[in-house]
Chains A and B, each alone.
Chain A
């Protein structure tokens, strides 16, 4: 295959923006239907009270907080990974970054709604905001929940701008090819971009600065989410390992989500010539490293707890090892390590299908991990007379299913509005590293040359 001209690249990447197929409408309607069902379930909960959920003493954190931690973790797919690859100047990143950054913005937005859903009385969410008021409420700066407010909002604002800024030149491309009302909308979005050297330099400098800023912010976000737990003297929570353990888990689930999204986009939008096997191969290697790191953290945490033999911690330890939560625990270990490890470690299996299967199991496994961190500790906290159980109701299950569908739906809508691969970045990479790209497409031929 010969190298594509700039015009071919533009045409290929802007093609998904034109036209909507019947299959697209069917899936969008189905996902929207489930999302609406979730909204109805939420409104039912608002009307009836939090009692319609399965949250009972002693387990007051269940599916909602599990989803909160899961989605915030998943949001590390994008901005963090994209920023690291940008700073490392990894040329293969170019078709990947926007797919990744979009996940961050949507996952973070979905994750941030869960504390509000969990409030029961969401109209009082502003009580969390840290400003002196006449309400007589003390905005407690020592509460990790308040740190969440700052960290998540900082990360959300940074991620949105990190996503939007490099989209401006692509909006200009679409503007110049569109007509009618579309032209008006894209003209507004393009902000009058003309592509002068000054604009390119400033954009690249801004992206570089933001990449530097966003990495520590991303690390801080999931550290702070972990401190929601680690600052409480609850068995198996009050641990210094929690912050790095959560950050590693977040990156792990984030990469898995990114691979899944890329595999679907490649297939559905016919981007086979841009999302190449080498992208899945490289991300698969990263996923393998994170799988090993995740296993290391789980082992270190479990070993330390077992050696400490502290009675309240051991109660939680055993209930997950071979008690009522053991099936979920071992499913988690299988999904996060036993299944993905061979798929990612053996080169022959590290194909697009192999990495997609591994990623799918990792996403499931990481959701289970969040659940297993939260619920067993609360249901087996200290003295046995306080122990209890947790069973999610249809309301929680519907809301959870709805958020997954909302995520996919948002991604589908996005792919019809904005090129999911950054056109200008791909073109810029074309004349920077022609050899590397040719090698990615035809390794044998290039080496023979």
Chain B
């Protein structure tokens, strides 16, 4: 399967990375074509403001409701749905307080598991063969690049990234950096 090429710059500090990002935006590159990578979050910089919106809290709440319902049903069915009638000597068959405890614990478990699953799905992890990556990111460099640039724009993008302060500009053909 052909892997799309990319052109990217490696920046040593977040301010120049921000300039690189602005330069790409001004060049009319679509935001979904711009890729940013760093070894730490830079929440206070504009290049980190991509893809902030997430339904994760709502999904966690729904997961909690589902978990709690499962907990309630488990506690209730375990007490009431046993294969033979249980003689309790007039005591209530369904113990409300303990059922509440089981329901509560599974509510929390549902919320936590949904959060983890949402995280993995929305970030597309695991993905052991990413389209673009440079190990220099681990050394503190910030990668700002464009996926699948047209041949006509490659030179312009390279110039803009260098002008913004990129230490290096690399292009990839397939998954090999050149």
A binds B: yes
A138 touching B86 in the complex, CB below 8 Å, given contacts A147-B102, A204-B41: yes
Binds A, one of B22-30, B104-112, B151-159, B163-171: B104-112
Nearest Cβ in chain A — how far from B116, in angstroms? Answer: 5
Q: Is the CB of B113 within 8 A of A157?
A: yes
Task: Say if the beta carbon of B122 comes within 8 Å of chain A.
Answer: yes
Using a CB-CB cutoff of 8 Å, which residues 131-184 of chain A contact chain B?
131-132, 134, 138-139, 141-142, 146-147, 150-151, 153-154, 157-158, 161, 165, 168-169, 172-173, 175-177
Question: Does B106 contact A197, Cβ atoms closer than 8 Å?
Answer: no
Known A7-B140, A132-B82; judge A195-B38 contact (CB<8 A): yes
The distance in angstroms between the C-alpha atoms of A197 and B14, with both chains bound, is 13
| Residue contact A10 to B140, C-beta cutoff 8 Å | yes
Contact A142 B95, beta carbon cutoff 8 Å: yes
Q: Is the CB of A157 within 8 A of B57?
A: no
B138 touches A173 (CB 8 A): yes
- Would you call B105 and A141 a contact (CB within 8 A)? no
Contact in complex: B50, A195 (CB < 8 Å): no
CB–CB B39/A197 < 8 A: no
Chain A contact residues: helix, strand, loop or mixed: helix
A264 vs B161: C-alpha distance when bound (angstroms): 47
Taking the closest CB of chain B, its distance from the CB of A398, in whole angstroms, is 34
Q: CB-nearest residue of chain A relative to B56? A: A205
* Per-residue contact bits, chain B 104-132, to A (CB 8 Å; 1 contact, 0 not): 11101101110110110011011111101
User: Any chain A CB within 8 A of the CB of B150?
Assistant: no
B2 at the interface (CB under 8 A from A): no
- Collect the chain B residues with CB atoms within 8 Å of residue A157's CB: 109, 112-113
| Distance between Cα atoms of A154 and B47 in the complex (Å) | 37
CA of A214 to CA of B115, assembled, Å:
12
Distance to closest chain B CB from A328 (angstroms): 32
Q: List, in ascending order, chain B residues with CB within 8 A of A431's CB.
A: 14, 42, 44
B23 to chain A, nearest CB (A): 17
Is B128 a contact partner of A188 (Cβ separation < 8 A)? yes
Judging by beta carbons under 8 Å apart, are B130 and A150 in contact? no
Partner of B40, one of A6, A151, A176: A6
Which A188-204 residues have C-beta < 8 A from chain B?
188, 191-204
Are the CB atoms of A194 and B115 closer together than 8 Å? no
Q: Which of A50-58, A216-224, A329-337 contacts B (4 or more CB under 8 A)?
A: A216-224
Cβ of A220 and Cβ of B109 under 8 Å apart? no
Distance from A66 Cβ to chain B, minimum over Cβ atoms (Å): 24
In this complex, how many residues of chain B approach chain A with their Cβ under 8 Å: the count is: 64
Question: If the complex has contacts A192-B125, A192-B129, A213-B112, are A206 and B101 also in contact, measured as CB distance less than 8 A?
Answer: no
A165 touches B37 (CB 8 A): no
Check: B98 CB closer than 8 A to any chain A CB: yes
Q: Do A177 and B78 touch (CB < 8 A)?
A: no
Q: Which of B79, B82, B98 has the most CB of A within 10 A?
A: B98
Least distance between B70 CB and chain A CB atoms (Å) = 11
Q: A165–B112 Cα gap in the complex (Å)?
A: 12
- On whether the beta carbons of A428 and B57 are closer than 8 Å, the reply is no
Q: Who on chain A is nearest to B114 by CB?
A: A209
User: Does A39 interact with chain B (Cβ within 8 Å)?
Assistant: no
Looking at B106, B109, B123, B137, which has the most chain A CB atoms within 10 Å of its CB?
A: B123
Chain B 70-102: CB-based contact to A (< 8 A → 1; otherwise 0): 010011011101110010000000010011011
How far, in whole Å, are A209 and B99 apart by their CA atoms in the complex?
25
Interface residues of chain B, those whose CB is within 8 Å of chain A, are 14, 35-44, 47-52, 54, 56-57, 60, 64, 71, 74-75, 77-79, 81-83, 86, 95, 98-99, 101-102, 104-106, 108-109, 111-113, 115-116, 118-119, 122-123, 125-130, 132-133, 135, 137-140
Instruction: Give 5 new A-B contacts, CB below 8 A, not counting A150-B106, A196-B35.
Output: A147-B105, A192-B129, A201-B51, A202-B56, A205-B54
21 contacts between A and B (CB under 8 A): A6-B39, A10-B140, A130-B102, A132-B81, A138-B86, A141-B98, A151-B105, A153-B109, A154-B105, A154-B112, A169-B39, A169-B40, A192-B125, A192-B127, A192-B128, A195-B38, A196-B35, A196-B51, A198-B123, A201-B52, A209-B57
**A-B pairs with lowest CB-CB distance, top 9:** A176-B138, A191-B126, A198-B51, A192-B127, A6-B140, A200-B41, A150-B105, A176-B135, A427-B40
